Each structure stands twice: as C-alpha cells, then as structure tokens.
Amino acid sequence: MPPRSSRPGRSGASRPRDVLVGVLTLLPWLVSGAACTQSTSSDSPSIAGSTVTDSPDTQPPLVVYCAHDQVFSAPILERFTRETGIELEVRHDTEATKSLGLVNRLIREQSAPRCDVFWNNQVLTTTDLLADDLLARYRGSGWRRIPAAYKDPAGRWCGFAARLRVWIVNTRAMPATIESVQAASNATDLSRMAVARPLFGTTLTHYCLLWHADSGSTLKAWHERTRRQGLIEVPGNAMVKNLVARGTCDLGWTDTDDYFVGLDDQHPVAMLPVRLPGGKTICMPNSVSIIRSTSRLAAARQLVDFLLSAETELALARCTSRQVPLGTIDLESLPVEVQRLRPLVEDGVDLSDLGESRTACLAWLRNEYQR
C-alpha cells in the first residue's frame, strides 16, 4: 500500500561579480515529461508493500530515511517492494528542516540506530555522517555505473539522479541571455533578484562551493554587498521560482526541478545554468548510503543497487522534476529536456572534498543570520 509518512521537503544560493555569473549557456526547453504516480501521505511512518504475497519477507521492515520528495520517491520504493517482496518502513524529512533533520536524527540515534538505508536528496549533508563513521562500505553494481565525481571511492555513499543550479528568468521582464543576467545581477539595485536563504539545502551547497574557491573571501564581500543593495532572500528555492514566475522578481537562483514546475504551470520563465569559475556546473545528485549498524545488510544492499540502477534513474528523469541520470543510460529514452541537461551534468564540480569548507562556511552563515 502507498507510504504514509511526513510531508516532503525541498531544498534551496548566490555569487559575486566575476564569481557568480560565470559562463552560462542558454538552452531551449519544451514543456513535457510525465508526472510520477502520486501517493497519499500523512505524518506517520510508512510501510510499503504490505499487500505483497509472493516470497514474503519474514524479517522486520527495512527502515529507510528519505529526504527526497515523497511524491517522487514513494513510487520508486513501492516498485522495489513489489519486485523483491522486501517491506519498507519509510520516514521522510520535513519542509522546515530539509535533509539536515534526518542527518541530525541519524547522528542522535547512533547509540541505538533505527535506520538501515539513507536516501538523501543531496550529497553534502550525507558526508556529515562520515565523521561519526556511520556509513557502511558497499561498492556494488549500482556504485560501479556512477561516475567517480559523484561517489565516495570507499563506497560509503553514491550519487544518482541529479538536479542543477540554474538562473530562472522572467522572460517578460528581461531577455534570458548571458548579457542580461550579468547586467541584472551586477546592478546597484538588486531588489528584483531573489535567492534562497543559504542555511539549508542546495543553496548551502552553492555557498560552500563559492567559499571553497578562496576560503570565503570573495563570497563574504559579495554577500555583504548584495544584501546592502536589496537582494531578496526567501525561505527556499520554490519561493524563488514563485517570485520570478509571477513577475515580482526578474531573476533568481533555483534548482532545475523548481524551474520545471514554473514551466509546466505555463509561466513565462527560462533558465540558464549557473557555472563556477573555471566553467564547472553545480550538479547536485540524490545520494544513498547504508547505515553501518544495519542488521539487514543483504536487503540494504539490494535496495542500494535498485536505487542506483538505470531503471530508477530513468524513472526519476521521466517524473515532472526531470532529474538527470548520472550513470550510463540510453539517451534516446530520456525526455528532451533531460537530454539537453545531460552535458551539464558531465561538467559538474566534484562535491566529495567540501567537508572543511562546509564546516567553515556554515559557521560563518549562522553567525551572519543570528546578528
């Protein structure tokens, strides 16, 4: 039966005159892509697969902590149960805490762990768990098909099905061109540009990457200047999309999944990829890990390989969020928009070495927003 769990969460960043605009490529986009099957939700944990009768699993349910939106993750996990007979108990994060809520829960529970597999909607917070040695090593068939830039060499986490950081532009307010974005983002009045507050999610990842370039010097100067010039900060990427789509703001930063919501709702929006100095894109995959203390190691490995498979990446690509596969896949089987995003994934920056930069950047940000 469909999972019954807490509400799905979403994630949400910024950049200086010569650091933030970077080299951008405007891509044309078509409105297409089938939505994933939706499921009912509530605030209680979910048990997927209770109707399975073939090869019943006599073990307790495999416990999955999932930070990916329930509307997209639930059909994937239900299919796993149908195909394997392994029941799942799924706990989702909340909108307020993003994936940090589940990460903090895993750290708190380490003396009496409850989780077997952690499906995060990004990489950066997953790597927080390495310091406490909470993740098991596993380099199975799924790990082997994912490029090295998007996985831990030891197999403690592995990425799949990515989003990208993008500029979202209201095409009635300004042309969706590199020159227009550069001019608007470098203006002295930034009251029509929006970004998500960078304490959580993909905006925090974005800030950490900017910090990583020069230990925060350029980022700090840019952050202070743009706030003084009226940059609009909102709770998350979805709100950035809303402000731009409705014409309250002319441009902003969001992720591809939120952009596609605006496009599918027939708002006058276009997107351009954000690039870092040197031309790298900011590609943020989901990630999956096995909790080291699991007593269901074989089942946990089975789920990890399932999530990292071409079939799962294809299913997430065909959802309305259009997440981009990382591993080898038949490109012709992908929606047109996802085919066009695939080269940007190949240009993605390596996220595996941000630990120290994340710690320093987050400490600085918390101080900034507590003042």
Q: Nearest CA to 273 among 20, 89, 35, 38?
A: 20
Tokens representing residue 321 in the block: 């969020």
Looking at residue 95, its pLDDT comes to: 52
- pLDDT averaged over the chain? 86
How much is the average pLDDT of 21-47? 39
Task: Indicate if the pLDDT at residue 33 is higher than 70.
Answer: no
Task: Indicate if the pLDDT at residue 100 is higher than 80.
Answer: no
Looking at residue 23, its pLDDT comes to: 36
Task: Indicate if the pLDDT at residue 325 is higher than 80.
Answer: yes
Rounded Cα–Cα distance for residues 108 and 189 (Å): 44
**What share of the chain in percent tops pLDDT 90?**
75
Rounded Cα–Cα distance for residues 240 and 90 (Å): 29
Q: Which amino acid is at 255?
A: D
**179 membership: H or E segment, kind and range:** helix 178-185
Would you say 265 and 238 are in contact if contact means Cβ atoms under 8 Å apart? no
- The pLDDT confidence band at residue 124, using thresholds 50, 70 and 90, is confident
Task: Indicate if the pLDDT at residue 20 is higher than 70.
Answer: no
Looking at residue 73, its pLDDT comes to: 95
CA distances from 85 to 52, 110, 116, 310 (A): 6, 28, 17, 20
Residue identified by tokens 């960043």 is 13
pLDDT digits (tens, 9 = 90+) for 37-70: 433 333 334 434 333 333 444 789 999 999 998 9
Beta bridge partners of 162: 285, 324
Rounded Cα–Cα distance for residues 336 and 220 (Å): 38
How much is the average pLDDT of 218-246? 97
How much is the average pLDDT of 17-45? 39
- CATH fold, domain 46-162+284-348, is D-Maltodextrin-Binding Protein; domain 2 (3.40.190)
Burial 113-128 (b: 16+ CB within 10 A, else e): eebbbbbbbbbbbbbb
Task: Indicate if the pLDDT at residue 94 is higher than 80.
Answer: no
Q: How many CA atoms lie within 13 A of 106 on its CB side?
A: 36
Q: How many CB atoms lie within 10 A of CB 71?
A: 17
How much is the average pLDDT of 134-140? 98
Least confident of 25-39, 86-100, 204-218, 267-281: 25-39
Task: Indicate if the pLDDT at residue 184 is higher than 50.
Answer: yes
Looking at residue 50, its pLDDT comes to: 32
More confidently predicted of 56 and 236? 236
Got the DSSP string for 350-363?
P-TT-HHHHHHHHH
Evaluate the CA torsion angle 69, 293, 200, 255 in order and state its sign: negative
Task: Indicate if the pLDDT at residue 87 is higher than 70.
Answer: yes
Give SS3 for 113.
coil
Residue 252 backbone phi and psi in degrees, to 5: -175, 180
Give SS3 for 283.
strand
Would you say 146 and 325 are in contact if contact means Cβ atoms under 8 Å apart? no
Query: What interhelical angle do 310-317 and 70-84 show, nearest 10?
Result: 150
With a CB cutoff of 8 Å and minimum separation 6, the contacts of 153 are none
Would you say 287 and 122 are in contact if contact means Cβ atoms under 8 Å apart? yes
Task: Indicate if the pLDDT at residue 344 is higher than 80.
Answer: yes
165-281+361-370 domain in CATH 3.40.190.10?
A: yes
* Ranges of CATH 3.40.190.10 domains, the chain: 46-162+284-348, 165-281+361-370
Residue identified by tokens 């597999």 is 117
How much is the average pLDDT of 246-270? 97
- The pLDDT confidence band at residue 7, using thresholds 50, 70 and 90, is very low
Q: How many CB atoms lie within 10 A of CB 286?
A: 29
